[in-house]
Chains A and B, each alone.
Chain A
Amino acid sequence: MAEVTRLVHKYLRHDKKFPHVWCPGCGNGILLGSLIRAIDRTGFDKDQIVVVSGIGCSGRISVYVDFNTLHTTHGRALTFATGIKLANPRLQVIVIMGDGDATAIGGNHFIHAARRNINLTAIVVNNNIYGMTGGQYSPTTPYGALAATALYGNVEHAFSIAELAVMAGASQVSRCTVYHATLLDELIEKAILKRGFSVVEVISHCHTQYGRRNRLGGAVEMLQWQRDSAVRVEKAAGMSPEELEGKITIGVLCDRELPIYTQEYRKVREKARAMTAAGPQG
């Protein structure tokens, strides 16, 4: 059996929920492929994996994959994931969100999840726009770009999601584009295996809502733009800020060993047991 057929049969609800809702050429399909290849490489059992998603085009990924899957409310995926992981730390919890999902309505949950360093994997699909609702500007829509709610040009400034996660205290942060699919496989695998809160920002494209309105071409042209704009972090380290203007750095931005919430909480339990055993004075 061809590898792709094996993966489709093993990991997708191929006979139940397809065809999918995404537009032809959408980056979410590439991400879905990377996700199941990465999970397959980690070797985790399907019963051990929980995929939690928010609301939006990317949020629909959870319905297509044959794991324990949870499609939550808009922006709140990380809060549900926090409850799942703390209730059963043996589960591998992967959270998939969009840019508006993770950094507008869910921005507070995103930075606090990073700060707490619970062992979760957060994948943020950044397509610079609210696609499902028809192309309104999001926290990652570039300054000056056109959107359904910014017909005169966006006057807000964009978040850099990966950098935000680094500053908020995530253990591992990486960024990739959907054009660089094999690198994306590696980065997602690395993120799942990382002990601690890990983030993968996935630069994707919405040619239907964002590309068309901003005259950036179709899916192919937008993928070519990703190819031409991406610079590996190792190479970017030797480049000047001027040279990096308009570029996307891809690769592992940060990888550090920090105390993990569940391990810390185990210590809390030990102290609590000791204190209550010692009596009311304890």
Chain B
Amino acid sequence: MNAIKTPPGRPLLLQGNEAIVEGALAAGCRFFAGYPITPATEISEVMSYRLPAVDGTFIQMEDEIAAMGAVIGASLAGVKSMTATSGPGFSLMQENLGFACATEVPCVIVNVMRGGPSTGLPTNVSQGDVMQARWGTHGDHPIIVLAVSTTQDCFGITVRAFNLAEKYRTPVILLADEVVAHTREKIYLPHPEEVEVVDRIRPNMPPDWYIPFEENSRGVPPMSSFGDGYRYHVTGLIHDVRGFPTQRPDEITAFMNRIFRKINQHFFDIQMVSQEETEDAEVLVIAYGSVSRSAHRAIREARRQGVKAGLARLVTLWPFPRQTIEPLLRRMRAVLVPELNMGQMAREVKRINQGITRIETLNRIDGGLITPDEILRRIMKL
């Protein structure tokens, strides 16, 4: 808790979960609703301590369903809001997560992944929720999913998650994993004025002119807060531009197309991949989260041993950063996708690849982290 009094801009020793809280507060998060669950609980604990000191609100709800509902309610009232959970709780949030997608309510959901399915391996690391994050809620919907791999990421990518949520009026899922969440390492917190913070665009027209879900060039309508004088209707039913339920095929189509387009036409803003040593690489490792840390070490060791290896570390998992990954795949002799699951992201990589380059997978599902040596051995055989 010493972090609390330390002025920003200085190095700190923090765990990932604490850095996520710092990132959220820097991004302007002032409401948090949660429910205790390992390995995400520290986020709730630190939030409960920090938020009231900055005039924010923390509440521990009766379950994760309620936490997600409260987060959406707070955001509709104009306050940036977040929840944090792990696999079982993330499953419970799915229905209201879909509500946030359909009603275009900005919010951030942190899922610190642990072993599954079911109660699974509560204290062990996993990356088993990649597909659930994309497709967990019912119906066609766009979503943004970001992954963190370092404590510094936990700060910076959390800020980015809030900014994307506000910019595109969408829930953003931040996928951490048990190793990133609990690893303590050095982190530099920037001065608050150095943090780029994006706020939702609010309506500036007279209330009578406000059409809350009207199409515009960005595909993102301005969002009014409850109580600001723009009285409008919010519903999880498919709605027309005024927010009222509709069953007219033309209005349904326009609604669905707009919520997809607002994400699709901004791919270059949303999709983030960090590349290491890919310029001259012949073999590529595609990794994310804590596994990308092992991959980083493995490609350096492979180069020492004469193999031109590169790393593409995915920050944005969904929408899948196809524009960056597709050209890379075409240049490589072979690609390795190490993951702490049975091949969820590898499946997407193979789909993009269309059989052009050899894709190999390295999967670990025993609750342990993939080591640099395991990745290195596979790189040397590619």
Contact = CB atoms under 8 A, between A and B. Distances in A.
Interface of A: 16-17, 46-48, 50, 52, 62-63, 66-73, 76, 78-88, 90-91, 108-109, 112, 265, 268-269, 271-273, 275-276, 279-280
A68 B228 CA distance: 9
B88 interface: no
A83 B77 contact: yes
Given A79-B69, A81-B73, A84-B73, A91 B244 contact: no
Contact of B234 (A70, A81, A91, A271): A70
A264 to B, nearest CB: 11
B52 interface: yes
A126 B76 CA distance: 28
B318 interface: no
Given A63-B244, A68-B226, A81-B73, A87 B231 contact: no
A68 B243 CA distance: 12
A82 B1 contact: no
Contacts of B225: 88
Contact of B73 (A16, A46, A79): A79
B79 A73 contact: no
Contacts of A66: 231
B74 A84 contact: yes
A87 B31 contact: yes
Contacts of B55: 269
Contacts of B242: 16
B2 interface: yes
A276 B57 contact: no
B275 interface: no
A83 B73 contact: yes
Given A63-B235, A108-B63, A90 B73 contact: no
A112 B5 contact: no
B226 A50 contact: yes
Interface of B: 1-2, 4-5, 30-31, 33, 49-53, 55, 57, 59, 61-63, 65-79, 81, 95-96, 99, 225-229, 231-237, 242, 244-245
23 contacts: A16-B244, A46-B231, A62-B235, A68-B226, A70-B233, A70-B235, A71-B236, A76-B65, A78-B69, A79-B69, A80-B69, A80-B72, A82-B33, A82-B59, A83-B71, A84-B76, A85-B73, A87-B57, A87-B78, A88-B225, A88-B227, A108-B62, A272-B52
Contacts of B70: 79-80, 82-83, 86
Contacts of B95: 73, 76
Contact of A272 (B53, B63, B71, B235): B53
Given A63-B235, A112-B66, A265 B74 contact: no
Contacts of B67: 79
Contacts of A16: 242, 244
Contacts of A17: 244
A62 B226 CA distance: 14
B227 A48 contact: yes
The 7 nearest A-B residue pairs measured at CB: A83-B73, A79-B69, A83-B70, A272-B52, A87-B77, A71-B235, A87-B74
Contact of A109 (B30, B62, B244, B245): B62
Given A73-B95, A87-B81, A82 B73 contact: yes
Contact of A83 (B51, B69, B244): B69
B106 to A, nearest CB: 13
Nearest to B33: A83
A84 B53 CA distance: 20
Contact of A279 (B5, B69, B75, B79): B5
A280 B227 CA distance: 37
A81 B62 CA distance: 14
B26 to A, nearest CB: 16
A280 B12 CA distance: 14
A68 B223 CA distance: 13
A88 B70 CA distance: 12
Contacts of B69: 72-73, 76, 78-80, 82-83, 109
A240 B245 CA distance: 49
Nearest to B55: A269
B77 A84 contact: yes
Given A70-B76, A88-B226, A265-B57, A280 B2 contact: yes
Nearest to A277: B53
A275 B78 CA distance: 27
Contacts of A73: 69, 95-96, 99, 236
Contacts of B229: 47
Nearest to B96: A73
A145 to B, nearest CB: 29
Given A72-B236, A73-B99, A86 B59 contact: yes
Contacts of A268: 52
A71 B53 contact: no
Contacts of A70: 73, 76, 226, 233-235
Contacts of B61: 79, 82, 112
A52 B1 CA distance: 38
A71 B69 CA distance: 12
A79 B226 contact: no
A81 B73 CA distance: 6
Contacts of B53: 269, 272-273, 275-276
Contacts of B57: 86-87, 265
